[in-house]
Amino acid sequence: MAIPVDRNPNPKPHVREEDLGFGTVFTDHMLRIEWDEGKGWHSDRIVPYGPIALDPAASALHYGQLLFEGVKAYAYKDGAARLYRPKAHADRLNVSARKLCMPELDPARLVEGIKELLRVDMGWLPRGPGTSMYVRPFMVATEPFLGVRPAKKYLLLVILSPVGAYFKGPARPLKLWVESGKARAAHGGIGASKAAANYVASLLAAEEAKKKGYDQVLWLDGVTHEYLEEVGTMNFFARIGDVVVTPALEGSILPGITRDSVIQLLKKWKIPVEERRLSFAEIEAAHAKGQLKELFGTGTASVVAPVGELATIKGTMTLPAAGADSYGMRLKEAILAIQRGDVPDEFGWLEKV
């Protein structure tokens, strides 16, 4: 299906690649698709990037029917762009939509719309080391209605942001605050979806942690506050001895696409990996015995980020410096090599734009 394109008559000046941060620069166009009860998805089109009109009574503004995804596109060595696992992201968007009583969208339709948007704004694709195009699809309930029920009108938009590194400054291990009081999500809730509500629930603790000098929060389960769940923006992995352990997907943490990529790579390398409950007490015990070799987080934005310090109200736990032979660094380089086209894509993770 050909997607109509309404060209932006006032294109913006491009930002130098060395000045790119994360999520502050946006391209000239966006993909727009509408949904109405009884009609379904319709009116796919690419329009100039700009404000959207919402009725003050729009359901999303009152009851939180708002979700998003995050995909990345990379400049490939052949000069074209490649999307990293876009169908997996489109499938996860539909999982989130089901959780929030929002309409699902054919994954192929969404991926093709993203590709067409990238073709229109290809001149914005950064090509330097550590850069990429961050693709942000999101869906918002637009029906003006103040009753508590699923909306009957929705808008899906996709915007593009050329980005540099997610964490500012020179590369360094992250310092995390282990949150033992507040809760981000609970089993049986919407913690495993990319609902906007999950992220606003994490902001207060994250801001408090940053004031103490930490980069992010490591969340524990919302009931016992004993078991590790996820970092504010990443899934979490621990290397205990030569075994890699990551919290199991039990409904309260996001099933990360990069998390899955890491697990697939570890299995290919014959490195033992376990998806199970992981208590903070187990981490403390492994550290005391010298068995806690490394910690790292994974996510679309950061790919793989080493963790050098965990802090609690009881004290601080410091990890040894992650060398080039650490699992985390090996994983990051392996994923980046696939994304850049430096090695064959044996897993079929890339899609050409």
Whole-angstrom distance, CA of residue 33 vs CA of residue 334: 35
Please tell me the predicted confidence (pLDDT) of residue 240: 97
Q: Are 217 and 176 in contact (CB under 8 A)?
A: yes
CATH architecture, domain 174-338: Alpha-Beta Barrel (3.20)
Going by the DSSP 8-state scheme, the letter that residue 279 receives in this structure is B
Q: Are 303 and 332 in contact (CB under 8 A)?
A: yes
pTM over 0.75: yes
Whole-angstrom distance, CA of residue 135 vs CA of residue 156: 13
Whole-angstrom distance, CA of residue 204 vs CA of residue 167: 19
Task: Please give the single-letter amino acid code of residue 224.
Answer: T
Going by the DSSP 8-state scheme, the letter that residue 277 receives in this structure is -
Tokens of 150: 């699923």
Nearest to 44 by CA among 65, 24, 28, 30: 30
Whole-angstrom distance, CA of residue 175 vs CA of residue 170: 14
The one-digit pLDDT tens for each residue of the chain (353 residues) are 689 999 999 999 999 998 898 999 999 999 999 999 999 999 999 999 999 999 999 999 999 999 999 999 999 878 789 999 999 999 999 999 999 999 999 999 999 999 999 999 999 999 988 899 999 999 999 999 998 999 999 999 999 999 987 666 556 899 999 998 898 888 888 999 999 999 999 999 999 999 999 999 999 999 999 999 999 889 999 999 999 999 999 999 999 999 999 999 999 999 999 999 999 999 999 999 999 999 999 999 889 999 999 999 889 999 988 777 899 999 999 999 999 889 999 999 999 99
The half-sphere exposure of 199 on its side-chain side, counting CA atoms within 13 A, is 11
Can you state the percent helix, strand and coil of the chain, rounding each to 5?
25, 30, 45
H or E element: which one contains 70? Answer: none
Domain residue spans in the chain? Answer: 17-165, 174-338
Strands (E), the chain: 29-36, 40-48, 66-68, 71-75, 81-84, 132-141, 153-163, 174-179, 216-220, 228-231, 234-240, 243-247, 273-276, 292-299, 303-311, 316-318, 350-352
Please tell me the predicted confidence (pLDDT) of residue 1: 66
Task: Please give the single-letter amino acid code of residue 211.
Answer: K
Please tell me the predicted confidence (pLDDT) of residue 166: 67
The CATH code of the domain at 17-165 is: 3.30.470.10
Q: Which residues pair with 137 in a beta bridge?
A: 158
Whole-angstrom distance, CA of residue 41 vs CA of residue 352: 25
Nearest to 257 by CA among 62, 21, 51, 96: 96
Q: Which are the contacts of 167, defined by CB distance < 8 A and separation ≥ 6?
A: 174, 215, 302, 305
Q: Are 341 and 78 in contact (CB under 8 A)?
A: yes
Q: Is 204 left (phi over 0), alpha (psi -120 to 50) or beta?
A: alpha
Please tell me the predicted confidence (pLDDT) of residue 321: 80
Please tell me the predicted confidence (pLDDT) of residue 76: 86
Task: Please give the single-letter amino acid code of residue 236.
Answer: F
